[in-house]
C-alpha cells in the first residue's frame, strides 16, 4: 500500500514515506525520456511527441473484465473501455494529457481501462485535435462536441463525469466552464489529476519545483503554451481556468504531487473552487512524478490513485465502487 495523501486540514510536517522503488524507476525513465527533451536547448515537436509515446510504451496490463472498443463521439475519434455489467446510462469522458500537443488515446488505455474497472463505469477517451496544427479552441470544441454527443445518446448530465490529467485536466475545466457559459447542464463530477490550470505559468511551484519535477521543464513553457493558445491571451479563463469564476461547478477531486511544477496550479484551483462554495477534495501526494496515475498498474501509487478516483466517481454517479 502506498502512502496516503496529505488531506485537507492534515499536517504537512509529519514525515512522509519515500515513493516506492517502482515509482522511482518510472520517474527516472520519465526524466531520461521526456524531461531531457522538454529541457533541450531547442524544442522539437516531433521529439516531444515521440518522447511522450515512449513514456507510455511499458507493458499494458489491462483488467480482464474491461472490453475496449474504438468509436467516434461528436465526429471525433474515441475509445471506450467498458467494464462487464456497466450501466449504459452512465459514462466518464476522459481527456488525456500531453501539453495539448501530444498524446494518443491508445497510450492512455491502461489508465482508462483501470479507471473503468475501479469505478464500474464506462470510460470514453477522446482523441481531440492537437496543437500547433489545431490551436485553441479546437480541443475545446472537440470536448464540447463529445459531451453533447453523449447527451444525445441518453447520458444525462447527472450520470456523466469528466476526468483529465495534466493538460487534459485544464481542458476538462474549460469544457465545464464553456458549458456553463452556454447555459447547458454541467456534468455531475470532475476529477483533475496534476492539472494544468494556469497557462500563464504564474504559480511559484513552476520554478521552485523545476529541478525535482521528473517530467516537466520550465524552459519552453511559453512556447508550448503559445502552440496551443495562438494569439489568445494566456490568462484567458478558457486557457487558464484557475483565473475563471468557477461558480456552480460540480464536486471536484484534485490530485497533485508536492514534487511537481504544477503543484500551485492544483492548490490555487482548490482555493478558487472553495471561494465559490464548490465541494472540493484536494489530495496532495508526496514525492511522486507528474501524472503518475498513467503508470497504472505498474506502481502501487498509481494503483492507489486510480482507486481513489474510481471511488469518488462511483459515489458521485451512483455506481458500484
List active site positions.
166, 260, 290
Distance CA 182, CA 258 (A): 35
Distance CA 89, CA 158 (A): 10
User: Contact at 8 Å (CB) between 155 and 161?
Assistant: no
Parallel/antiparallel/unpaired status of strands 160-165 and 189-193 = parallel
What counts of helices (H) and strands (E) characterise the chain?
Answer: 10, 8
Largest CA distance in the chain: 51
Residues in the chain: 321
Q: Which residue has the cell 524544442?
A: 43
Distance CA 58, CA 260 (A): 22
User: Contact at 8 Å (CB) between 27 and 299?
Assistant: no
Q: Determine what percent of the chain falls in helix, strand and coil, rounding each to the nearest 5.
A: 40, 15, 45
Grid cell locating 82: 467498458
Grid cell locating 247: 461558480
DSSP 8-class letter at 16 = -
Q: Which residue has the cell 515537436?
A: 45
Q: Which residue intervals of 230-286 are DSSP H helices?
A: 263-275
Distance CA 321, CA 308 (A): 10
What is each CA distance from 186 to 91, 96, 179, 246, 275, in whole angstroms?
14, 20, 6, 12, 19
Distance CA 101, CA 95 (A): 13
Amino acid at each position: 500500500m502506498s502512502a496516503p495523501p496529505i488531506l485537507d486540514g492534515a499536517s504537512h510536517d509529519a514525515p512522509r514515506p519515500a515513493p516506492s522503488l517502482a515509482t522511482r524507476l518510472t520517474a527516472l525513465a520519465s526524466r531520461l525520456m521526456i524531461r531531457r527533451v522538454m529541457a533541450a536547448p531547442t524544442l522539437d515537436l516531433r521529439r516531444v511527441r515521440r518522447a511522450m509515446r515512449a513514456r507510455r510504451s511499458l507493458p499494458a496490463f489491462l483488467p480482464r473484465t474491461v472490453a475496449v472498443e474504438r468509436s467516434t463521439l461528436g465526429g471525433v475519434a474515441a475509445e471506450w473501455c467498458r467494464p462487464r455489467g456497466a450501466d449504459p446510462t452512465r459514462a466518464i469522458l476522459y481527456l488525456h494529457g500531453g501539453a495539448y500537443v501530444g498524446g494518443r488515446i491508445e497510450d492512455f488505455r491502461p489508465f482508462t481501462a483501470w479507471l473503468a474497472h475501479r469505478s464500474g463505469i464506462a470510460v470514453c477517451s477522446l482523441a481531440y485535435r492537437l496543437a500547433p496544427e489545431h490551436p485553441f479552441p479546437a480541443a475545446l470544441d472537440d470536448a464540447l462536441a463529445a459531451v453533447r454527443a453523449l447527451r444525445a445518446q441518453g447520458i444525462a448530465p447527472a450520470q456523466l463525469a469528466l476526468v483529465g490529467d495534466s493538460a487534459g485536466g485544464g481542458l476538462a475545466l474549460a469544457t465545464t466552464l464553456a458549458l456553463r457559459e452556454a447555459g447547458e447542464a454541467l456534468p455531475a463530477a470532475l476529477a483533475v489529476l496534476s492539472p494544468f490550470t494556469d497557462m500563464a505559468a504564474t504559480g511559484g511551484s513552476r520554478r521552485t519545483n523545476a529541478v525535482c519535477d521528473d517530467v516537466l521543464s520550465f524552459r519552453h513553457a511559453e512556447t508550448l503554451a503559445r502552440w496551443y493558445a495562438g494569439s489568445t491571451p494566456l490568462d484567458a479563463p478558457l486557457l487558464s481556468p484557475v483565473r475563471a469564476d468557477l461558480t456552480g461547478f460540480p464536486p471536484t477531486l484534485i490530485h497533485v504531487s508536492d514534487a511537481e511544477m504544477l503543484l500551485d496550479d492544483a492548490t490555487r484551483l482548490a482555493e478558487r473552487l472553495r471561494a465559490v462554495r464548490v465541494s472540493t477534495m484536494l489530495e496532495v501526494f508526496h514525492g511522486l512524478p507528474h501524472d503518475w496515475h498513467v503508470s497504472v498498474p505498474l506502481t502501487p501509487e498509481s494503483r492507489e490513485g486510480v482507486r481513489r478516483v474510481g471511488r469518488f466517481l462511483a459515489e458521485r454517479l451512483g455506481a458500484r465502487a
